[in-house]
Amino acid sequence: MPGDQGNAPIGKATDKAVEIAHLLQKDRYDQIKHFFDGPWVKVRATGDPTDGLYVFACLIPLKEKQRFLEDVGWSFRSNDLQPRVECIWHGSGDRKVYYLKHGNESGAEALFHCRSHSNRWPSLIEVAEEFRLLFNLHHDNSRNVLLYCDENGSEEEVARIGANSLDIKLAFLTRYLRAKQMHLAVQFDGNTPSLRTLSELGLTPGPQVNKGENHHLQLSLTIWDNDERFRCVSRLIGKLVLPCPGSIQYEDPYAEEHRTYVEFIVAIDSEGKPVCHSCKPHGGENVPYLTPVFFKREVLQEYFNQPERYTVEDGRLCCGSLWDLQIDNDHQTSPNTGRVGTQFHLWAPERAHSILPSWTP
């Protein structure tokens, strides 16, 4: 049929276009273009040598950015950033022995270490101790993630560690770069093969360079005649820099701007309507510090459901050593506005459970 004859060339052209896009690694270019746009940054990855992408990141001094981006070849590998003792021999027979804390003299530092051994001990990826200590991170071995605990006891994933990969949350990474006054230097290397020849695809061998202020990439197309597995190969190699976001800063986690205060019912007006008041200490309103606040008993269920984090006892609710609150859990739960404000300022879910007392004066 005429329609069938017209569809064949379109299908072949589409297949060819898809193959060209695959060989030119369009998806990887797009991934690199948006590498720092999401909440997570991949700083380590190993892929299939035939059709995979390798990623390796480390920290470099601010002054080393231009030198790092001069060429596309990798400047660092994991072994280059491990502590070691260096020995240099001079022509006179003298030697100089000295210690390199970070394994190099350029000032680059490891964000993680790839640990391996010559026996049967398992290989692993270990996040740099300084990063872990700066944020006081906890290693959850069951999930192989690093967790951050804020001043209210809330947990947040910061690093996800795989057998051959490592992802770190951008917000913590940028804070670390600012504190260290260093750039994040990311290196890429990925191959893609094709069963078609370059001439069939209308392509020519050679490099294509893409260079900018914070990146330097090179895509090379090569004829493959080593065996019959494929006919041509492309290689995408290069570097990307996440600049230090600015000068070093101090952020007080307990500062007022980081706190959120909600309102609770504290009384009724002349018409019997609820009167709400913020739990912010010294809010300026004419409400005594020890004004009791009442909640439905259901408010405690959230804390009963998380025994690893909260303790609910007779007359007391606490979150580890972070805070504790006196309550009347035999009747309606009743802390006071001042205590809620100073030690429990994030009771946002509890706002819906705030009620008037059920007793009559």
Residue 176 has pLDDT above 80, yes or no: yes
Report the C-alpha gap between 344 and 152 in whole angstroms.
8
State both tokens at 355: 């009620």
Span 338-345, mean pLDDT?
Answer: 45
Q: Is 31 left (phi over 0), alpha (psi -120 to 50) or beta?
A: alpha
Give the pLDDT band of residue 346 (cuts 50, 70, 90). very low
Evaluate if pTM is beyond 0.85.
Answer: no
Residue-level pLDDT at 310:
84
Comparing C-alpha atoms, which of 239, 238, 235, 240 is closest to residue 190?
235
Report the C-alpha gap between 41 and 138 in whole angstroms.
19
Contact 337, 289 (CB under 8 A): yes
pLDDT single digits (tens) 277-302: 776 766 555 566 667 777 777 777 87
Contact 233, 194 (CB under 8 A): yes
Q: Is 249 exposed, middle or buried (0-12, 13-18, 19+ CB in 10 A)?
A: exposed
Report which of residues 35 and 78 the model is more confident about.
35
- Mean pLDDT score of the chain, rounded to an integer? 83
Span 26-30, mean pLDDT?
Answer: 94
Report the C-alpha gap between 23 and 21 in whole angstroms.
6
Give the pLDDT band of residue 140 (cuts 50, 70, 90). very high
Cα 3 to chain center, whole Å?
A: 52
CB count, 10 Å around CB of 142? 6
Give the pLDDT band of residue 10 (cuts 50, 70, 90). very low
> What is the crossing angle of helices 26-33 and 2-23, to 10°?
50
CA distances from 187 to 58, 78, 344 (A): 9, 12, 45
SS (H, E, C) 275-314: EEEECCCCCCCCCCCCCECEECHHHHHHHHCCCCCCEEEC
Give the pLDDT band of residue 97 (cuts 50, 70, 90). very high
Report the C-alpha gap between 120 and 126 in whole angstroms.
18
Residue 117 has pLDDT above 50, yes or no: yes
Give the pLDDT band of residue 258 (cuts 50, 70, 90). low
Contact 114, 153 (CB under 8 A): no
Report which of residues 344 and 122 the model is more confident about.
122
State both tokens at 257: 């701007």
Report the C-alpha gap between 71 and 250 in whole angstroms.
36
Span 151-162, mean pLDDT?
Answer: 90
Q: Could you tell me the sign of the dihedral formed by the alpha carbons of 8, 233, 26, 161, in that order?
A: positive
Task: List the domain boundaries for the chain.
Answer: 8-242, 259-355
pLDDT single digits (tens) 178-235: 999 999 999 999 999 999 999 999 999 999 999 999 999 999 999 988 777 889 999 9
Residue-level pLDDT at 223:
94
Residue 111 has pLDDT above 70, yes or no: yes
Q: Is 305 left (phi over 0), alpha (psi -120 to 50) or beta?
A: alpha
Backbone angles phi and psi of 112, in degrees to 5:
-160, 165
Fill in the amino acid letter for 186. V
Report the C-alpha gap between 117 and 305 in whole angstroms.
42
Percent of the chain with pLDDT over 70: 81
State both tokens at 217: 């990439």
Report the C-alpha gap between 173 and 61 in whole angstroms.
15
Residue-level pLDDT at 283:
54
State both tokens at 78: 């994991």
Q: What is the DSSP string of 16-39?
A: HHHHHHHHTTHHHHHHHHTTTSSS
CB count, 10 Å around CB of 323? 16
